[in-house]
């Protein structure tokens, strides 16, 4: 870090949205304060936690008063917390870490070195990550060696579930990119997809390395793994708006966009099977859409066979697909 007068000039700001994360927050913060690169600040946004998260944040802030900002604001979801966190960012590069997760000691340094390796350009830097589940399994999500993508190629990689993920937390962003991102007001499934696609399309370059530096912890409920509810209804509208916009702006990517959304909507039916909350209107809507796009979906070599099988069953009868998924869950 560099000091100018009494002010500190940071290279990176890390934003952590926090809500009732007392069981994992200390591990997350400890992993950040153990970074090999020291010229970064932490902005933690506490969205009205009712557990000890707020007290934990204040304890760490007192220990690191120059390097940590804590903002408390009740009623904030993750999206609003990230947006508010950017307002406190005092560095040219911004990263996001979830309070449930933790990072390797060279997480910030590696991404920062990638980001500044193309001088004068607005860069999104990406790394690989580990996935940790309740069963204790850890899987490496790997990419090719350091690889450069144009904005549109990066967009296509996300749509095809390729080397670039749709997650915010395995990336470092030039802050100039984030200043033009439109954040979602209400919690929806696909928030990260919206932000990351906007970001890569506004970047001059997207650089990826194959080193897994982030530990993504899939333990406990989340929007994407919970049973069906109102959030899925909001998310359907969210995906429809994104699909319409991106297909109009990037017609050459339309098929990939249609197929990406199809897989996401199939997951809504899986959510219905989890809590046996069968939304007839939503189910028929997804079934109708699946039938319309089925041939295109089946012909896409970038779509995995398991998704094609799910689409075939849904096209026949969405309720039968849900019931089949319920049986698999009970057996599992």
Residue 258 within any structural domain of the chain: yes
Same domain? For 104 and 168 the reply is: yes
Is 218's pLDDT higher than 80?
A: yes
Helical ranges in 160-279 per DSSP H:
175-178, 191-202, 230-249, 254-275
Domain boundary among 162, 186, 218: 218
pLDDT tens column, 319-330? 999 999 998 888
Q: Is residue 116 located within the same domain as residue 37?
A: yes
**End residue of a domain, out of 156, 187, 218:** 218
Q: Do 193 and 111 have their domain in common?
A: yes
10 neighbors 35 (Cβ within 8 angstroms): no
**Residue 260 domain-assigned (yes or no):** yes
In-domain check, residue 225: no
Residue that is last in its domain, among 218, 245, 276 = 218
Mean pLDDT, range 234-259, rounded to an integer: 96
Query: Taking a C-beta distance cutoff of 8 angstroms, is the pair 239, 179 a contact?
Result: no
Res 150: pLDDT: 96
Burial class (CB in 10 A: 0-12, 13-18, 19+), 6: exposed
Task: Give the span between the Cα atoms of 110 and 107, in whole angstroms.
Answer: 6
Q: Quick one: 242 and 188 in the same domain?
A: no
Total domains in the fold of the chain: 2
Q: What CATH number is given to the structural domain containing 214?
A: 3.90.550.10
Q: Cα separations (Å) of 184 from 96, 190, 242, 299? A: 16, 10, 11, 33
- Cα angle at 329 between 326 and 331, to 5 degrees? 110
Looking at the structure, do residues 112 and 250 belong to the same domain, yes or no? Answer: no
The pTM (predicted TM-score) of the whole model is 0.91
Q: What is the pLDDT of residues 97-106, one digit of tens each?
A: 999 999 999 9
- What is the span of the domain harbouring residue 284? 230-331
**Are residues 267 and 314 located together in one domain of the fold?**
yes
Task: Give domain status of residue 322, yes or no.
Answer: yes
Residues 258 and 290 in one domain: yes
Residues 247 and 169 in one domain: no
Q: Are residues 37 and 138 in the same domain?
A: yes
**Same domain, residue pair 103 and 172:** yes
pLDDT tens-place string over residues 276-286: 999 999 999 99
Q: Residue 304, exposed/middle/buried by CB under 10 A (0-12, 13-18, 19+)? A: exposed
């Amino acid at each position: 870090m560099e000091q100018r007068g009494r002010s500190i000039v940071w290279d990176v700001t890390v934003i952590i949205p926090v809500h009732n994360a007392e069981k994992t927050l200390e591990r997350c913060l400890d992993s950040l304060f153990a970074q090999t690169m020291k010229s970064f600040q932490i902005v933690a946004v506490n969205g009205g936690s009712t557990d000890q998260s707020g007290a934990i944040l204040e304890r760490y802030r007192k220990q690191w008063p120059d390097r940590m900002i804590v903002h408390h604001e009740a009623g904030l979801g993750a999206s609003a917390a990230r947006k508010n966190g950017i307002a406190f960012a005092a560095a040219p590069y911004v990263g996001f870490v979830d309070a449930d997760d933790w990072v390797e000691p060279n997480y910030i340094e590696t991404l920062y070195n990638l980001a500044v390796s193309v001088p004068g350009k607005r860069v999104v830097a990406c790394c690989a990550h580990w996935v940790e589940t309740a069963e204790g399994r850890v899987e490496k999500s790997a990419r090719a060696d350091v690889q450069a993508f144009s904005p549109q190629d990066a967009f296509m990689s996300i749509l095809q579930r390729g080397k670039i993920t749709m997650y915010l937390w395995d990336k470092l962003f030039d802050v100039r990119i984030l200043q033009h991102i439109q954040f979602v007001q209400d919690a929806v499934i696909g928030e990260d997809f919206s932000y990351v696609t906007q970001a890569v399309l506004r970047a001059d370059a997207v650089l990826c390395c194959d080193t897994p530096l982030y530990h993504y912890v899939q333990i406990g409920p989340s929007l994407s793994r919970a049973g069906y509810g109102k959030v899925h209804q909001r998310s359907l509208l969210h995906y429809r708006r994104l699909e319409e916009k991106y297909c109009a702006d990037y017609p050459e990517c339309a098929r990939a966009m249609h197929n990406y959304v199809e897989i996401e909507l199939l997951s809504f039916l899986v959510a219905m099977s989890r809590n046996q909350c069968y939304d007839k209107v939503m189910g028929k809507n997804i079934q109708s859409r699946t039938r319309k796009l089925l041939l295109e979906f089946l012909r896409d070599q970038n779509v995995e066979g398991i998704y094609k099988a799910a689409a075939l069953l849904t096209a026949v009868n969405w309720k039968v697909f849900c019931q089949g998924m319920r049986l698999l869950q009970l057996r599992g």
